[in-house]
Amino acid sequence: MASANPHETYGLHLQVDYFELFEFRVESHLGSGRSGDVYLACSERHEGITRAVKKASTKAEDLLVRGVSLQELKQKFYREVEILQSINFPCILRGVNLIVCPDYLAITMDYCERGPLSEGLSRVDNAKTYIISLYLIRALDYLHYHRIAHGDIKPSKILFAGFRENIRPVLAGFSAAFRLPQNSNMVRAYGQTPCYVAPEARRKSESVDALKCESFAMGTVMLCMALRTAPPPETDSYADVIKGLPGLCDGMRALMHGMVQDDPANRISISEANKLISCIDVEECRAAQVPINTANNEAVGRCHYTIPQAFFHIMCLD
């Protein structure tokens, strides 16, 4: 007799609607992605209890619109939950569970109430850039040690949670994450958002080093924080942008420059970046700061979002 598909018993299977059963109301729509829509759900029974819920319909007509089969959707959701439930790190999304309902799949997760980095780039100064980068590089180094690639690193996937001195960055958005074999980092393709995709992956090389691609993406996120805006689409080399960017301390400039090298053979890994950033002094970063509303960064004037000042006090994770 053939063994049952392990996915058929994975997660919490319900015969009724998750929101009705557990008395959650949908408070707002937080965003949309390739694999579903994310909502803020608030408990009707217990004040202050909130969850972020990613939901995707399994109805045939909705699958057709999304351009995915039911089997593909299930595999995406199962893989994302399996990976997140297998790891435990303070700056990686927690509280993740899979819900299987009659008409949809859902992933429930901790709600990061401070929002994404993409909505606060204009207020990230040098000290915050250093601190946020430090903890995200540590989180990625943890993932890579466990042979996991995030697959789509960008500011909208970096959330913030906590209050006052305990506010911290949280790496989220694991729908493109995947496991690597123990003996190779090479994959056929990597990345989903063009300006964060490494040059070799954009060229659609026969195979690319997934972990070197992750380093390029993280270096580009750091460039976004230094620019206080999205990366410039008109340049072919972020390394050249970093070389001429004012207001960076020598340590951060060298680190970012090494992470966005066009040639993956010359690009430093996340593991190497973790060692290098640990040697940089936050006071050195602050001392190099220049006013963000200058002729060198006109795009900042178009940004009106804020990041709480408490980000400077992100808790130590050691």
pLDDT of residue 291: 66
Instruction: Identify whether residues 94 and 206 lie together within a single domain.
Output: no
Q: What is the DSSP letter of 34?
A: T
Share of the chain above pLDDT 90, in %: 79
**Lowest-pLDDT range of 8-17, 20-29, 203-212:** 8-17
pTM of the model: 0.88
Q: Is the pLDDT of residue 180 over 60?
A: yes
CA distance 270 to 47: 41
CA distance 290 to 125: 9
- Greater pLDDT, 244 or 267: 267
* Nearest Cα residue to 301 out of 228, 240, 236, 235: 228
* Nearest Cα residue to 196 out of 211, 177, 216: 216
91-148 pLDDT, tens digit each: 999 999 999 999 999 999 999 999 999 999 998 999 999 999 999 999 999 999 999 9
* Nearest Cα residue to 144 out of 212, 76, 221, 216: 212
Instruction: Identify whether residues 21 and 84 lie together within a single domain.
Output: yes
- Domain hosting 208: range is 117-313
Instruction: Identify whether residues 74 and 130 lie together within a single domain.
Output: no
Instruction: Identify whether residues 105 and 155 lie together within a single domain.
Output: no
- Of the CA atoms within 13 Å of residue 69, those in its CB half-sphere come to 3
Share of the chain above pLDDT 70, in %: 88
The label of the residue with tokens 């994310």 reads 38
CA distance 275 to 139: 13
CA distance 76 to 93: 17
Which residues sit in the known binding site? 55
In this structure, what CATH number is given to the domain that contains residue 36?
Answer: 3.30.200.20
46-101 pLDDT, tens digit each: 999 999 999 999 999 999 999 999 999 999 999 999 999 999 999 999 999 999 99
**Contact criterion met (CB below 8 Å) for 277 and 93:** no
Instruction: Identify whether residues 237 and 127 lie together within a single domain.
Output: yes
Instruction: Identify whether residues 194 and 49 lie together within a single domain.
Output: no
pLDDT of residue 308: 38
Q: How many domains does the chain have?
A: 2
pLDDT of residue 112: 97
Residues 6+ apart with CB under 8 A from 144: 211, 214, 269, 270, 271
**Contact criterion met (CB below 8 Å) for 126 and 282:** no
pLDDT of residue 157: 97
Q: Where are the beta strands (DSSP E) in the chain?
A: 12-13, 24-33, 36-43, 50-57, 97-100, 104-109, 148-149, 158-161, 168-171, 178-179, 186-187, 208-209
- Greater pLDDT, 287 or 1: 287
User: pLDDT band at residue 7, thresholds of 50, 70 and 90?
Assistant: low
Q: Is the pLDDT of residue 302 over 50?
A: no
Instruction: Identify whether residues 169 and 272 lie together within a single domain.
Output: yes
Instruction: Identify whether residues 97 and 122 lie together within a single domain.
Output: no
- Of the CA atoms within 13 Å of residue 224, those in its CB half-sphere come to 25
Q: Is the pLDDT of residue 297 over 50?
A: no
Which residues sit in the known binding site for ATP? 55
User: pLDDT band at residue 8, thresholds of 50, 70 and 90?
Assistant: low
In this structure, what CATH number is given to the domain that contains residue 290?
Answer: 1.10.510.10
* Nearest Cα residue to 172 out of 57, 52, 75: 52
Q: Is the pLDDT of residue 165 over 90?
A: no
